[in-house]
Amino acid sequence: MANEQKKVKKLKIAIPKGRVLKDSLGLLRKSGFIRHPDSDYDSRRLIFDYEEDGISLLIVKPWDVPTFVEYGAADAGISGKDVLLEKPKNVYEPLDLKIGRCRIVAAVSRDLIKRNMPGFNNIDRMVITGQSQPGGFSSSPLSVVPVEGGLKNQYLKLYYSKANLRVATKYVRITRDFFNKKGVPNVQIIKLYGNVELAPISGLCDFIVDLVSTGETLRQNDLAEIEDVAVVTSRLIVNRASLKINPGGIASLIDNLKRQVEKNADI
């Protein structure tokens, strides 16, 4: 693998800080692109240039990865689907890496549920999913799975429980698309940058749309999930110009990562 890497132009890859960093490094390591242990990345360094591997790693904030890739500061990057949906960029998205899996959900205070939907805890959730296509999600990834009987009306009752529905989130675009597709009028979206779970408790809003992994934080703050807005995993994204300038390097990156993702799926 190392010999193959030296035959092509050096690749610059942007990977996100935070919860997906370790999984991203592990995937690149198993795919033959880096040989250094995780401990090398515990410093405050932001660029790691490996001449012997023909690769440079840029460690950036998750929301900045697509920007680095779009403008060519990085040839490729690893980005969460939530970031790509919220702030679309002109990048190529060839591969779902199947790491960093979580969900964007609509949630509400249990107090509002008790007032408007008696017996809610006995009702299964209706789920919103992303419709996949080759190379990633479609341009309209949020769609409703058909629900039989009166269940859909129960949820609509909750959404229409107030004349003006306040929703707190950092995902303004995703949230607006979600409620527009459901035909819910008079939705006021309040953008927050953190502690979104505090918003319903403090009386700031009725609903929140937020990223969850286990849902434990919601439960501890007396909030209940209503629907999945989108399922999120990390994706490989590629600068479109790099596809033409360095096709060998990009093809090697995609092919080797794809093989490792398939191996991981078999474990």
pLDDT tens, residue by residue, 59-78: 999 999 999 999 999 999 99
Can you list the positions of beta strands (E) in 69-140?
76-80, 92-96, 102-109, 126-129, 132-133, 136-137
Question: How many C-beta atoms surround the C-beta of residue 18 within 10 A?
Answer: 11
Q: How many CA atoms lie within 13 A of 89 on its CB side?
A: 25
The string of pLDDT tens digits covering residues 234-262 is: 999 999 999 999 999 999 999 999 999 99
Per CATH, is 102-232 categorized as 1.10.1530.10?
no
Compute the half-sphere exposure of residue 60: CA atoms within 13 Å on the CB side of its CA: 22
Question: How far, CA to CA in Å, does 81 sit from each of 60, 104, 224, 237?
Answer: 16, 10, 23, 10
More confident residue, 13 or 165: 13
What residues does each domain of the chain span?
A: 2-100+234-266, 102-232
Confidence of residue 125 (pLDDT cuts 50, 70, 90): very low
Measured in whole angstroms, the distance separating CA 221 from the mean position of its chain's CA atoms is 23
Two structure tokens written together for 239: 């600068």
How much is the pTM?
A: 0.81
Confidence grade of residue 149 (pLDDT, cut at 50, 70, 90): very low
**Percent of the chain beyond pLDDT 70?**
79
Exposure letters 89-99 (e unless 16+ CB within 10 A, then b): bebbbbbbbbb
**Torsion angle in degrees (nearest 10) through CA of 164, 165, 167, 171:** -90
> Which of 101, 87, 235 has the alpha carbon at shortest distance from 170?
87
CB within 8 Å of 261: residues ≥ 6 apart: 27, 95, 96, 97, 98
> What is the CATH number that goes with domain 2-100+234-266?
3.40.190.10
Place of tokens 């927050």: 192
pLDDT of 190 above 80: yes
- The count of C-alpha atoms lying within 13 angstroms of the C-alpha of 166, restricted to the half-sphere facing its C-beta, is 15
